[in-house]
């Protein structure tokens, strides 16, 4: 067996998710998991130190979820003012908590080409998108307001 702390390894062992599960991860190796949804999409999560190509850390996925939610929430409003084929990039940065293993905060930046708008149009767009994201982005609202997290550890033979 590989030295767990020193060397990445893969495993072929799997446990099927319970019937009706919509989101789950399966262990694929040391500190690496393949995330699934019930629509067939997958995403590889792994320890950043292992440099596994194509993988994200769970913290990176959290930031991407916030960026994606912000974009999807504001998309219709932006398209109304900038046109259906507008370009957008949304960047999320985080601040790590000084003493705890968690993030202390996030900053989201919505980057748009607003050259087709006058100053009043830009101000209106900023206000509209800010309001839409602040009131409609489920991920952002959950992070801002917090949500209880429950945990159970179960014997897979009983599932």
Q: Where do the structural domains in the chain lie, given as residue ranges?
A: 1-56, 59-145
Six-digit token pair at 56?
């994200």
Taking the chain (159 residues) in consecutive chunks of 10 residues, what is each chunk's mean pLDDT?
68 91 95 96 92 94 98 98 98 97 97 98 98 98 96 83
What is the pTM assigned to this prediction? 0.90
Q: Which residues pair with 24 in a beta bridge?
A: 36
CATH architecture of the domain formed by 59-145: 2-Layer Sandwich (3.30)
The answer to whether the CB of 95 falls within 8 A of the CB of 63 is no
């Amino acid at each position: 067996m590989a030295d767990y702390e020193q060397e990445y390894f893969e495993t072929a062992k799997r446990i099927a998710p319970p019937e009706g599960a919509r989101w789950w991860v399966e262990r694929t190796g040391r500190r690496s998991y393949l995330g699934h949804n019930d629509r067939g999409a997958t995403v590889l999560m792994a320890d950043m130190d292992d440099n596994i190509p194509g993988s994200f850390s769970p913290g990176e996925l959290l930031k991407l979820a916030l960026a994606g939610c912000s974009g999807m929430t504001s998309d219709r409003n932006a398209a109304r003012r900038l046109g259906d084929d507008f370009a957008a990039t949304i960047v999320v940065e985080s601040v790590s908590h000084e003493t705890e293993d968690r993030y202390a905060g996030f900053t989201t930046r919505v980057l748009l080409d607003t050259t087709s708008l006058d100053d009043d149009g830009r101000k209106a767009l900023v206000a509209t998108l800010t309001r839409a994201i602040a009131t409609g982005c489920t991920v952002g609202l959950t992070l801002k307001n917090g949500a209880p997290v429950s945990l159970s550890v179960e014997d897979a033979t009983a599932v």
